[in-house]
Copies of this chain bind each other. A is one copy, B any other.
């Protein structure tokens, strides 16, 4: 059961620590790690059947990337600070319009077709009420068009905030009322891509980020209320 050895999957040609890093990041991004769980290098090492060093390297790297937070007793999921999330919305409003414009120009026909397929998948996932699949589809869609941004530095900058984007998604996806808005926003963006309309793409992603912030703020307010309610019950 332990000693899982990673060679089976995700053998992306990297070093062991790189593979552990990727596996852990996948778990984090899929929300498989509950808040408050402490990741300790020895435990991770034991799980993957390696020594402490690769596990430690992976954990520290994840911490530096912002996916984990180092404490005196293991690594934990970072408490996503409300202020920081708002800051990143600000950053995204600065960067993503330009990125979308470049994608509208740079996407190949094949990539466009692939994005269309993913969008269809997202739609059906929504109608079938499969939030998990919808979530994945949206992630793939976003990664897809960002990959077509010809400015590599801009691309990397955007990918750096993927974690936060993911964390926000995790919150806003909880409310099913947001699902149609998300799909519609992506669809409008996709339309602009298809028409090679850089201006429209730019405007629509900006609108999309604003809408995302609104949805996040609502989810945040709801979470606060919930929290205070449960605290009241507990006390």
| Pair B157/A157 contact, Cβ less than 8 Å | yes
Complex alpha-carbon distance, A143 and B156, angstroms: 23
Complex alpha-carbon distance, A91 and B154, angstroms: 6
Which B residues are in CB contact (< 8 Å) with A88? Answer: 153
Number of interface residues of A (CB under 8 A): 22
Complex alpha-carbon distance, A57 and B70, angstroms: 15
Query: Separation in Å of the A20 CB from the closest CB of chain B?
Result: 14
Query: Separation in Å of the A229 CB from the closest CB of chain B?
Result: 31
Tell me what chain A mostly uses at the interface: helix, strand, loop, or mixed. Answer: helix
- Specify how many copies of this chain sit in the oligomer: 2
| Pair A87/B157 contact, Cβ less than 8 Å | no
| Pair A84/B157 contact, Cβ less than 8 Å | no
User: What per-residue 1/0 map shows which CB atoms of A118-161 lie under 8 Å from chain B?
Assistant: 00000000000000000000000000000000011110110011
Which B residues are in CB contact (< 8 Å) with A196? Answer: none
A206-226 CB contacts (< 8 Å) to partner B: none
Complex alpha-carbon distance, A160 and B57, angstroms: 21
User: What per-residue 1/0 map shows which CB atoms of A89-111 lie under 8 Å from chain B?
Assistant: 01100110010000000000000
Which B residues are in CB contact (< 8 Å) with A23? Answer: none
Asked whether any CB of chain B lies closer than 8 Å to the CB of A60, the reply is yes
Q: Which of B57, B61, B91, B154 contacts A87 (CB 8 A)?
A: B154
Complex alpha-carbon distance, A152 and B90, angstroms: 11
| Pair A94/B98 contact, Cβ less than 8 Å | yes
Asked whether any CB of chain B lies closer than 8 Å to the CB of A175, the reply is no
Asked whether any CB of chain B lies closer than 8 Å to the CB of A64, the reply is yes
Residue in chain B with minimal CB distance to A60: B57
3 closest residue pairs by CB, A with B: A87-B153, A87-B151, A94-B94
